[in-house]
Structure 1
Amino acid sequence: MADLQLEEVRKVYDNGQVAVHGASFGIADGELMVLVGPSGCGKSTLLRMIAGLEEITSGTLRIGGRVVNDVAPRDRDIAMVFQSYALYPHMTVAGNLAFGLNLRGLPRADVDRRVAEAAQMLGLDGMLGKRPRELSGGQRQRVALGRALVREPSVFLLDEPLSNLDAKLRHSTRTEIARLHQRLGATMVYVTHDQVEAMTLGQRIVVLDGGHVQQIDTPMALYERPANLFVAGFLGSPAMNVLRGELHAADGLRLALATADGLPAASLPLPGVQVPAAWLGRPVALGVRPEHLRPAAGEGLGARVDVVEAVGSEAYLHLDGAGRALVSRLPPQALPAQGAHVELRADPAHLHFFDPQDGTRLHA
């Protein structure tokens, strides 16, 4: 296997569009790194530059310590799994798995060994004689994974490989990829727009938006300490609640919510919260995860329950808090009825403060 190093890697198209703005980060040997972000953020372009399918405008890309900016894709020792299965319909599973190895002229015994090992690892043993039309979507995706696996590359690149699968198959195939990574100890770069996939698969995650790297860290570090409002809103389902207003210390700290577009005046008490004096009286954006914003006895932010979603292991309250859409996540319990009035309190140990202008996290 091999590590990857990107130093100010940039992609500018002929029309002047900048797809990737100076990405710099490293991927350790054996690490599973996920690139995540909304459509058009540059994640697939970045992956294709690593693969050699897109020319790097500027910057340096190293694989295993070797600069590969001008190295052809076939000579980079990488294998790529695409969003579409791209299987040859007239070939059997065994033929699809062996096709690339046969093109490279490997001895028949070596080809057979690699195909058998990949089929056993991915549970395809009994399907080697079948053609793609006889397989389910999940089985076809496993064949596509196996075709990359048999090459025994230094780096695996996966471009949204689960996007064509239904929810159940996505979950099971995601688990298979995680097990495969643990078993191989392979270096993998995985692209997805699905933040649940990113959080469950990645040892570290690169969050991108508009071609810029927003933050790089472990899944839980990103969830618990997002660097800015974009990361805070993108990672987490449901998304983080964001309340904008000013902090005031009279009669205890509270967030006086901004009143605009006819919204009524309201405030969220923040008992037990300490903030720097410089934050008082200035506009802030307060982020609260749904599990840390709950109905409680006593004074809080008044809200009306609009929708109750009970999903077994947990429940979601969709609320109208003084004209602002909010979500609260609760454990299974007696839930307030639709239309009920509740007082919301925020957990003081799990609050996130951001600059409302540039979205960056405020540090005490």
Structure 2
Amino acid sequence: MATVSLDNVRKVYPNGHVAVAGASFDIADGDLLVLVGPSGCGKTTLLRMIAGLETVSAGTLRIGGRVVNEVAPKDRDIAMVFQNYALYPHMTVAENLGFGLRLRGMPRAEIARRVDDVARLLELGQQLDARPAALSGGQRQRVALGRAMVRQPAVFLLDEPLSNLDARLRLSMRVEIARLHRRFGTTTVYVTHDQIEAMTLGQRIVVFDRGAIQQIDTPMKLYERPANLFVAGFLGSPAMNLLRGILHAGDGLALATAGGTVRLGTSPQVDALADWHEREVILGLRPEDLRPLAADDPSAALEARLEVLEPVGNEVFLNLRHGDSALVARTPPGVACVPGEMVRLGTAVQRLHFFDPRDGTRIG
């Protein structure tokens, strides 16, 4: 196991495209860190630089305290799991698992021991003599993971390893990866564009957009206190509701939007907006922090028209329209609302988020 440290690591291609604008963070020994962001944001490029598959244009990259900018991939003591499995179709599962160890000249008895141990852990013992074509997608992914695990590397690198699986398999493999990490404690860097994977797997998350780090923190701190509009909108399903308007301080603070007035009440977040009175701000509301109220409830913060009601079993999504803005409220089953009617909504005042519309940064 080892630490991984990046100090202003950049990747600039010959055509001038900046894939990674300057990444600086540390991964502690045994941590599982997730790089998350939309397609093309630079997260896989950064992972490939850690692996040695992409050159570092500038900055310093260390693994286990050793500068590895010019070190070949085979000498970095890392193992990488790719998105497309990359299994050898003419080899059995056992041969695929042990191939890397054979290349390194490891004794046959030690290879067999490691392969058997990993196969037992990943429940592949009955498939050791099968070839990849005879395996399911989940079994192939487990073979790809096992091939990295038998190496017993200092660092695991996983590049969107679950993206080719169906929803049910992704869920089970997420649990499997988390369980294996807890058992082995190997330093792990995991790349994904799926914010649910990021939130459920990562001990810390690095949020990327257009080659730049937007925020680094634990999953819940990112969710509860996003640093900017990108993080606020990217993490969370459904995404955070955003309303743009002018702050007015009259009979209590309120936000004048194109769809009407949003009463903000009193909270530390609202009290911190004194310098923003009569200025434009963006209000953020998580779907679970919007709740429908009775038609005569005076505590309502805003009104919106219900367009679509989506029951999904243990909860219901209310898709609403407030002026030109679409809103989503997450509620328990049994809500008495009918599409087309106006719904009065209350908010969790202490959980409001405010952003500067000029640069998207968090206010307060």
Tell me whether the two structures share a fold, i.e. TM-score over 0.5: yes
Partner of 2:280: 283
SS in 2 for 1:111: helix
Partner of 2:101: 101
Alignment of 1:4-15 (within 5 A): 4-15=4-15
Please give the per-residue CA displacement for 1:186-222, whole angstroms capped at 9, x wherever unaligned. Answer: 1000000000000000000000001000000000000
SS in 2 for 1:44: helix
Partner of 1:342: 343
Please give the per-residue CA displacement for 1:13-60, whole angstroms capped at 9, x wherever unaligned. Answer: 000000001100000000000000001110000000000000000000
Assess if the C-alpha contact under 8 Å between 1:97 and 1:115 holds in 2: yes
Q: Which amino acid aligns with 1:336?
A: C
Distance 2:275 2:167 in 1: 47
SS in 1 for 2:111: helix
Partner of 2:34: 34
Partner of 2:240: 240
Residue 327 (structure 1) aligned with residue 353 (structure 2): no
Give the Å deviation of 1:344: 1.8
Residue 251 (structure 1) aligned with residue 290 (structure 2): no
Assess if the C-alpha contact under 8 Å between 1:5 and 1:63 holds in 2: yes
Give the Å deviation of 1:166: 0.3
Partner of 1:67: 67
Partner of 2:183: 183
Partner of 1:226: 226
Q: Which amino acid aligns with 2:50?
A: I
Distance 1:241 1:65 in 2: 43
Give the Å deviation of 1:247: 1.2
Q: Which amino acid aligns with 2:228?
A: N
Residue 271 (structure 1) aligned with residue 265 (structure 2): yes
Q: Which amino acid aligns with 2:348?
A: D
* Structure 1 runs of 4+ with >6 Å offset: none
Give the Å deviation of 1:272: 2.3
Give the Å deviation of 1:341: 1.3
Distance 1:313 1:182 in 2: 30
Q: Which amino acid aligns with 1:266?
A: G
Partner of 2:46: 46
Give the Å deviation of 1:277: 2.0
What's the RMSD between the two structures over aligned residues?
A: 0.9
Runs (5+) with no aligned partner, structure 1: 260-264
Partner of 1:309: 310
Alignment coverage as a number of residue pairs = 357
Distance 1:150 1:331 in 2: 46
Runs (5+) with no aligned partner, structure 2: none
Q: Which amino acid aligns with 1:272?
A: T
SS in 1 for 2:180: helix
Please give the per-residue CA displacement for 1:49-79, whole angstroms capped at 9, x wherever unaligned. Answer: 0000000000000000000000000000000
Moved more, 179-188 or 294-303: 294-303
Please give the per-residue CA displacement for 1:229-282, whole angstroms capped at 9, x wherever unaligned. Answer: 00000000000001111111212211111x4xxxxx511111224424212111
Partner of 1:262: none
Distance 1:22 1:246 in 2: 35
Give the Å deviation of 1:340: 2.0
SS in 2 for 1:349: helix
Give the Å deviation of 1:333: 2.4
Partner of 2:199: 199
Measured at CA, do residues 126 and 40 of structure 1 come closer, stay the same or move farther in structure 2, by a change above 3 Å? Answer: same
TM-score (norm 2): 0.97
Partner of 1:355: 356
Measured at CA, do residues 119 and 285 of structure 1 come closer, stay the same or move farther in structure 2, by a change above 3 Å? Answer: same
Residue 292 (structure 1) aligned with residue 293 (structure 2): no
